[in-house]
A and B are shown apart, each in its own frame.
Chain A
Amino acid sequence: MPARGALLHSLTAQEAGQAARARRRKRLTALLFVLPLLLFILLAFVAPIASMLWRSVHHPTVSELIPRTIAELQRWDEHGLPDEASLAVFAEELHALARKRQSGRLAEELNRAFSGMSSVVKSSARQLGRLQPEQLATDGVPTLLKAHRNWSRSEVWYAIKRAGMTYTYDYYLTALDLERHPDEGIRPRDTQIYLKLYSKTLTLALIITLLCALLGYPLSYYLASLPENRANLLLVLVLLPFWTSLLVRTTAWIALLQTNGVINSTLLASGLLDEPLEMLYTSFATVVAMTHILLPFMVLPLYSVMRGIDPSYLRAALSLGDRPLPAFARIYFPMTLPGLSAGALLVFIISVGYYITPALVGGTDGQMISNLIAFHMQSSNNWELAAALGSLLLALILLLYWVYDRFVGASNIKLG
C-alpha cells in the first residue's frame, strides 16, 4: 500500500483519478463475476440457516394456542396458584382447544416445558371437552383442578408462563442442560443429556482425528518416498474410497461388523474367538467406519506437502551424523506440519458434524450431536430445541473453520 501511495503522489491528479476509476472498474468487474453465486448462496444456503437460528429464539406457538391465559399469567407473581379468574380463562381455552382437536399440540408444547404434562393436558382436555359451554363458568375450574393434581402446582404454571414467551432463550438453556427456576434463577437440570453428548461428540471426533493422523502419516510418508508414478498408482487405493459413495462405505462396515459379519465369522472360524463380538451399533463401529471414511482427507494434504519436501534435507542430516529419529523429529516433522494441521482440522471439522454414519452403525452409544438434532427434527418434533442445538454446533464449526481459513486458507482444501 505505501508503495502504491507513493506512486500516486508522483502522478498528476488527472492520472490518479483515471487510475482510481480503472481500479474501481476492475473491482466492479470482479464483483459482477462473483455476484450471481453470492446471491444464490445467500438465498439458497445462508437464509435457510439464518431462519433456523431465528427459530431457536422465536417460538410463538403456545402464545397463539392459549393467548388469553398467557396474558393473564403476566399478572401472576410466580408463587402459589394463579387467581381463580386466570384459571377460568385457561379452562375455557382448553375446552375450546379440545373441541378443535388442538389440545394435542398444547399437550406436546407443555410437555416440553414440564415433563409428564402431555397426558395431564390430554386427559384434562377430554374431561373439560365433555362440559357444555354454559357449564364452563361454574364447573370449569373445579373440573380442571380435579382432573389432575399438577394443575395445583405453581411450577406447572410457571412452566406454562415461560412456554408462552414469544421470544425466548429457554431452548438454549435446555441445550446446555440448564433451566430457569422462579427463585433460584438459572440452574442445572435434573437430567443432563446434551453437555454429555457434546463432550462425547468432541471426544469421538478427536479419537477419529488422531487415528486418521496415526494411520495417514506413515502412509503419506511412504507414498511420498516412492517414485511419482508408482505413488500415483498406490494413491488410487486412497482415492477410490474417497470417490466411493458414503452409503456404500457405511454399508461395507455393516457387512463387516455385524454379529454374523465377515470379521466375526473369520475370527470364529479361525478359533480366535468362542463367541461373536458385539461391534455393530456401538461407538466402536462409529469410530472405525468414520476413520475409514475420513482417512483420505488426511492423506491427501499430507502427501502433497511431503511430496514437496526435498528428501536430501533428511539425508543431509543423517549423513552429518544425526541419529535417524531425532533427525526426523527435528527436521522432517516440522516441515510436514502444515499438511498435518490442514488434514487434522478438516477431519475434525467434518467428524464433529457427521450424521449418516453414526446414525447407521452407531446404535445408541455411538450417536453424536447431529443425531440428536435429527432426532428432535424428525422424531420428537421439537424443532426449536433442534435449532438451538444446531446453532451451538454451528458456532463451534464456524470457529474451527475460521482457524482453518486463517492457517490453511479455505480454498486450499485438497480434493485429490
Chain B
Amino acid sequence: MNSTPAYYGFWQRLGRLLLKLGSWLVLLFLILPILVIVPLSFNSEPFFSFTEGMLTLQPEAYSLRWYQEVFTDPRWILAIKNSFIIGIFATLLSTVLGTCAAVGLAREEMPLRRFITALLLSPMIVPLIITAAGMFFFYSDFGLAGTYPGVIIAHAALGTPFVIITVTATLVGFDYSLVRAALNLGATPLRAFFDVIMPLIRPGVISGALFAFITSFDEVVVILFMAGPQQRTIPRQMFSGLREQINPSILAVATLLILTSIALLVTLELLRRRAERLRLAPAE
C-alpha cells in the first residue's frame, strides 16, 4: 500500500497524507528527546543546556570532560560494575527459574494454570513502589537489605515475568508427543529437555534473558529503597544526580546507555529473524 490505490479520491489522498505526516510527528516525538541528549553530553560547561558556543559550533564549547569524569569518578565506576554484577546474576536466576516454569505452564495439565500464570506475572504489574517498600521491611528482617544477594533476588523476581512471556510465546503449538517420543527412545528427561525443547525455545530464552537483564539494569526504585551505598547502580547514581546535582556526566552516561540499548535492540532483531527462519525450516 505504498502508493494509494487509483479509486482513492482527493479526500482520501489528503487523509493519507495527513496520516503520514501525523505518524512521522509521533515518531519524531518518540525519538528526538533521546537524540537531544547526545550533543548535550559534549558540553564543556557544567550545566544542562545548550550554550551559545555549542549552537554556533565553536569547537571549544564541546569537550569530552564529562566522559572523562564518569570514567575517573570511583562512584560511577562502582555503579557500572554493580549494574553488571547484579544484572548478570539476577538474569541467571530469573532465566533458569522462568524458563522452567514456562515449560510447565505451557502444559494443558498444569493445575490452576490461569491463576498461577497471573500470580507469576504479577511482579511486572504491581507498582514498583509497593514492591520496593515491602521488600525493604521484609529483606531487612532477614539481613538481606543492603547486600548483593538481597538485591539480586529482588531483581530476579522482577525479571522472571519477561522470561515466562517470551518462552511461552515460543512454546505455543509445541507438540509434547515429541518429548514423549524422545523419552520412549531412551533419552533421559534432562537430555530430552535440552535436545527437544531447548532448540525450539532458545530464541525465547535468550530474549527473555535480555529482558530480564534490562529490567535489572534499568531498575531504580527497589535499589533506592533496599540497596546500600555498596550496591549503588547506574540508574541509582543517575537518580541521585538528577535529584541532587544536575551535571552533564549524567548525560554522558545516558549517551552510553543509548548505545547499549541500540546494541540490545540489534541483538533482539537478529534473534527474531533467526527464530523466524527456524520456524519456517524446522529441520535444520
Q: Is A–B contact present in the complex under a CB 8 A cutoff?
A: yes
Interface: B230 (CB within 8 A): no
Q: Is A30 interfacial (CB-CB < 8 Å)?
A: yes
Q: Contact check, B138 vs A240: say whether CB atoms are below 8 A apart.
A: no
Is A31 interfacial (CB 8 A cutoff)?
A: yes
Given contact pairs A38-B120, A243-B265, A44 touches B218 in the complex (Cβ within 8 A):
no
Which of A243, A249, A255 lies in contact with B48, CB distance below 8 A?
Answer: A255
Are A37 and B101 within 8 A (Cβ)? yes
The stretch among A135-143, A192-200, A223-231 that forms the contact with chain B is A223-231
User: Assuming A27-B110, A262-B50, is B165 touching A413 (CB within 8 A)?
Assistant: yes
Question: Which residues 369-387 in A have Cβ within 8 Å of B in the complex?
Answer: 370, 373-374, 377-378, 383, 386-387
A156 at the interface (CB under 8 A from B): no
Contact A390 B12 (CB under 8 A): no
**Is the beta-carbon distance between A352 and B254 smaller than 8 angstroms?**
no
A318-B7, A413-B124 known; A44 vs B23 contact (CB < 8 Å)? no
Task: Pick from A26, A225, A252: contact of B37, CB below 8 A.
Answer: A252
The 6 A-B pairs of least Cβ separation, nearest first, read A353-B127, A33-B104, A48-B138, A48-B134, A222-B23, A37-B101
Hey, what's the 0/1 contact readout for B209-239 against A, CB within 8 Å counting as 1?
A: 0010010011011000100000000110011
A273 close to B (CB within 8 Å):
no
The dominant DSSP class at the A interface is helix
Contacts A253-B33, A254-B246, A415-B162: A373 and B130 contacting too (C-beta < 8 A)? yes
Q: Are B130 and A243 in contact (CB under 8 A)?
A: no
Say yes or no: A248 contacts B160, CB within 8 Å.
Answer: no
Please tell me if the beta carbons of A353 and B137 are within 8 angstroms of each other in the complex: no
> Would you call B110 and A226 a contact (CB within 8 A)?
no
Kindly identify, within residues 228 to 275 of chain A, every residue whose CB is under 8 Å from any CB belonging to chain B: 230, 234, 236-241, 243-256, 258, 260-262, 265
Q: Measured between C-beta atoms, what is the minimum distance from B152 to chain A in Å?
A: 10
Question: Within the assembled complex, what's the spacing in Å between the Cα atoms of A14 and B75?
Answer: 70
Q: Is the CB of A265 within 8 A of B242?
A: no
User: What 1/0 mask marks residues of chain B from 19 to 60 whose CB sits below 8 Å from any chain A CB?
Assistant: 110110011011101101100100000011110000000000
Cβ contacts under 8 Å, B104 to chain A: 29-35
Report whether A247 and B218 are in contact in the complex, using a CB–CB cutoff of 8 Å. yes
A284 interface hit (Cβ, 8 Å): no
- In angstroms, Cα B121 to Cα A38, docked, is 11
List A contacts of B166 (CB < 8 A): 415
Q: Is the CB of B129 within 8 A of A373?
A: yes
Judging by beta carbons under 8 Å apart, are B111 and A31 in contact?
Answer: yes
A-B contact pairs, 11 of them (CB 8 A): A33-B105, A45-B123, A52-B134, A216-B26, A240-B30, A256-B36, A258-B48, A324-B11, A324-B15, A349-B125, A415-B162
Secondary structure of the B contact surface, majority rule? helix
Contacts of B125 in A (CB 8 A): 349, 397, 401, 404, 410
Query: 8 Å CB contacts to A: which residues of B232-278?
Result: 234-235, 238-239, 242-243, 246, 250-251, 254, 257-258, 261-262, 264-265, 268-269
Say whether A49 contacts B33, CB under 8 Å. no
Closest B residue to A352 using CB positions: B127
Contact of A49 among B29, B134, B243, B268 (CB under 8 A): B134
Count residues on chain B whose CB falls below 8 Å from chain A CBs. Answer: 97
Please determine whether B49 and A262 come into contact, CB atoms closer than 8 angstroms. Answer: yes
Asked whether B165 lies within 8 Å of A36 as measured between CB atoms, the reply is: no
In the complex, what residues of B have CB within 8 A of residue A51's CB?
Answer: 134, 137-138, 141
- A238 contact from B2, B30, B122, B243, Cβ within 8 A: B30
- CA A222 – CA B138 in complex, angstroms? 48
Cβ–Cβ contact A251 & B265, under 8 A: no
Q: Which of B107, B157, B225, B238 contacts A41 (CB 8 A)?
A: B157
Which positions 26-72 of chain A face chain B at CB distance < 8 Å? 26-27, 29-38, 40-41, 44-52, 55
B190 within 8 A of A: no
B127 partner, pick from A50, A393, A415, beta carbons under 8 A: A393
Distance (Å) between the CB of B112 and the closest chain A CB? 9
Taking a contact as CB atoms under 8 Å apart, the answer to whether A49 and B131 are in contact is yes
Q: Which of A315-363 contact B (CB under 8 A)?
A: 315, 318-319, 324, 349, 352-356, 359-360
B120 touches A37 (CB 8 A): yes
A244: chain B residues within 8 A (beta carbon): 34, 257-258, 261
- A292 on the B face (CB < 8 A): yes
Least CB separation from A54: chain B residue: B137
Chain A residue at minimum C-beta to C-beta distance from B12: A324
Q: For the complex, is B118 an interface residue (Cβ under 8 Å from A)?
A: yes
The CA-CA distance from A393 to B134 in the complex, in Å, is: 13
B109 at the interface (CB under 8 A from A): yes
Shortest distance from the beta carbon of A318 to any chain B beta carbon, whole Å: 7
Assembly CA distance A176 to B221 (angstroms) = 25
B225 / chain A contacts, CB cutoff of 8 Å:
377-378
User: How many whole Å from B213's CB to the nearest CB in chain A?
Assistant: 11
Output the residue of A244, A394, A397 with the most chain B CB within 10 A. A244
What sequence of 0s and 1s flags, for each residue 137-149 of chain B, a beta carbon within 8 Å of any chain A beta carbon?
A: 1110100000000
Give CA–CA (A80, B225) in the complex, Å. Answer: 44
The answer to whether A278 has its CB under 8 Å from any CB of chain B is: no
Asked if residues A254 and B48 are in contact (CB atoms below 8 Å), the reply is yes
A383 touches B103 (CB 8 A): no
Contact present for B137 and A383 (CB under 8 Å): yes
CA distance A20 to B146 in the complex (A): 49
Given A30-B107, A244-B257, A295-B26, 7 extra CB contacts under 8 A = A32-B104, A37-B97, A52-B133, A244-B258, A256-B33, A261-B48, A410-B121
Q: A26-B107, A30-B110, A415-B166 are in contact. Are A354 and B127 (CB under 8 A)?
A: yes
Q: A48-B134, A352-B127 are in contact. Are A219 and B218 (CB under 8 A)?
A: no
A248 lies within 8 A of B257 (CB): yes
| Bound Cα distance from A249 to B35, whole angstroms | 10
Interfacial chain B residues near A114, Cβ < 8 Å? none
Give the chain B neighbours of A41 by CB distance below 8 A. Answer: 119-120, 122-123, 157, 160
**Beyond A27-B109, A49-B131, is A245–B235 a contact (Cβ under 8 Å)?**
yes
A251, B27: Cα distance in complex, Å: 19
A365 within 8 A of B: no
With both chains docked as a complex, state the minimum distance between the C-beta of B270 and any C-beta of chain A, in angstroms: 13
Q: Is the CB of B117 within 8 A of A411?
A: yes
Given contacts A45-B157, A225-B1, A383-B137, contact A405 B118 (CB under 8 A): yes
